[in-house]
């Protein structure tokens, strides 16, 4: 909040988000050996342990590895049940990133909506941070449009 010209109060909101694609498999810690075999099969990614939750996580955050290794694998060997639907949403989000959709508000919203539909959706932490991107209240749209402040 700053004091603008002629004594008006202007609210300046600057949002900065980085979208990092991540393929991850999270299992109970008793399945560590299975995740190590998956990591060995793909030849990439890292394994981390969440000891307090008895969880182990295999993750790949390299965009290049996701595009060149992970997606072709699951295209060739499709998943079944709900995991297939989650994979298709994940692949759609990766394709949007490939089209540089993250560099505009509508693209960011599309990616955010896909994330909200996958697995367990957005975390409560991300819901709080992304509320204005995910869904704007009508009163906000009208008041900002009247001031000429909305530029998507």
Domains of the chain: 17-77 (3.10.28.10), 81-141 (3.10.28.10)
Say what the pTM is.
0.66
Q: What is the pLDDT of residue 136?
A: 45
Q: What is the pLDDT of residues 9-38, one digit of tens each?
A: 444 444 556 778 889 999 999 999 999 999
Most confident of 3-17, 76-90, 103-117, 118-132: 76-90
Give the number of residues written for the chain.
152
**Mean per-residue pLDDT, 31-60:** 95
Alpha-carbon gap, residue 107 to 152, rounded angstroms = 10
Average the pLDDT over each of 8-22, 40-54, 123-137 and give the range with the smallest value.
123-137
Query: Please, what sign has the CA dihedral across residues 66, 23, 89, 72?
Result: positive
Average the pLDDT over each of 2-11, 60-69, 123-132 and give the range with the smallest value.
2-11
Assign 124 a pLDDT band (cuts: 50, 70, 90): low
Element (H, E) at 71: helix 71-76
Residue with tokens 């342990």: 49
Residue with tokens 């960011």: 108
State how beta strands 55-60 and 46-50 pair: antiparallel
Contact yes or no for 10/37 (Cβ under 8 A): no
In 1-113, beta strands by DSSP E? 2-3, 9-10, 23-28, 46-50, 55-60
pLDDT at 125 over 60: no
Alpha-carbon gap, residue 61 to 23, rounded angstroms = 7
Q: Give φ, ψ of 36 to 5 degrees.
A: -65, -35
Q: Looking at residue 122, what DSSP letter applies? A: S
């Amino acid at each position: 909040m700053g004091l603008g010209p002629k004594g008006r109060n202007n609210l300046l909101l600057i949002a900065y988000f980085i979208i990092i694609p991540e393929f991850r498999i999270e299992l109970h810690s008793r399945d560590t050996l299975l995740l190590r075999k998956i990591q060995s099969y793909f030849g990439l990614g890292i394994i981390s342990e969440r000891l307090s939750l008895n969880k182990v996580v295999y993750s790949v955050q390299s965009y290049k590895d996701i595009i060149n290794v992970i997606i072709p694998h699951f295209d060739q060997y499709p998943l079944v049940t709900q995991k297939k639907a989650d994979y298709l949403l994940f692949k759609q989000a990766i394709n949007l990133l490939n089209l540089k959709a993250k560099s505009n508000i509508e693209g960011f919203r599309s990616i955010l909506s896909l994330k909200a539909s996958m697995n367990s959706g957005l975390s409560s932490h991300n819901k709080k941070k992304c509320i204005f991107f995910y869904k704007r209240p009508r009163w906000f749209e009208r008041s900002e449009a009247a001031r000429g402040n909305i530029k998507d």
